[in-house]
Structure 1
């Protein structure tokens, strides 16, 4: 199953759930809830390591980030976040450190490194 809607393209390949955001200026809590519902639809009650390409997102409200990190993390074995540059990486790493997710989470600029990290969690 592939979900390709206005916010993201989501699919499973080789034991990893791929989540690629489309160009979004700002994610709010309502959008975050919808996005998570689409991800869970693809997962069909199975946990996966998740590759999340966040490069096309400019900003996310704090309420949206909190939702995605807490309630929105259901069925997540591990998370690799792909960001576009060092600045985005520093900000995202700080958020990950302070939100303390219950699953292994790392931030990357390189897609292959991100996928390599997830292989141990299949």
Structure 2
């Protein structure tokens, strides 16, 4: 499996059996973009399930259709999801997403990457994973 992939919206990296998804600065996600993000992630993961660290600190906005798509189809092959947020914008965005979409996978948000990796490590049986950014 490759360890890095990039598209117009995100960067995907595999580090210590955790998929890191980093949204690019100022990105606005609509339904078409969300479908591409999910398609590219599934291709990157080669149909294997992983915990996912999703850094949304630079994300500008996600529309409702995209949020709905990401909550359902976007959860495929994700063991657990940890959002990296930066208050106030992405903090509010994440809380709204969790309250309205009720993802079927374990999902939490964190301000610190180390805490997010520790959370995801529980789904690997690891205590610690290395941050790459």
TM-score, normalised relative to structure 2? 0.85
Q: How much does 1:4 deviate?
A: 1.6
Q: How much does 1:94 deviate?
A: 3.1
Q: 2:68 aligns with which of 66, 69, 73?
A: 66
Contact residue 9 and residue 27 of structure 2 kept, 8 A: no
Return structure 1 stretches of 4+ with deviation > 2 angstroms.
Answer: none
Q: How much does 1:46 deviate?
A: 0.5
Q: 1:20 aligns with which of 19, 22, 44?
A: 22
Partner Cα separation in structure 2 for residue 29 and residue 4 of structure 1: 19
Q: 2:105 aligns with which of 103, 106, 122?
A: 103
SS across alignment from 2:43: helix
Give aligned pairs, total: 122
Q: Which residue number corresponds to residue 94 of structure 1? A: 96
Partner Cα separation in structure 2 for residue 78 and residue 66 of structure 1: 18
Partner Cα separation in structure 2 for residue 10 and residue 74 of structure 1: 16
TM-score, normalised relative to structure 1? 0.93
Q: How much does 1:98 deviate?
A: 2.6
> For the aligned residues, what is the CA RMSD?
1.3
Q: Which residue number corresponds to residue 113 of structure 1? A: 115
SS across alignment from 2:38: helix
Segments of 5+ residues of structure 2 without an aligned counterpart are 125-133
* Higher share of residues assigned strand: 1
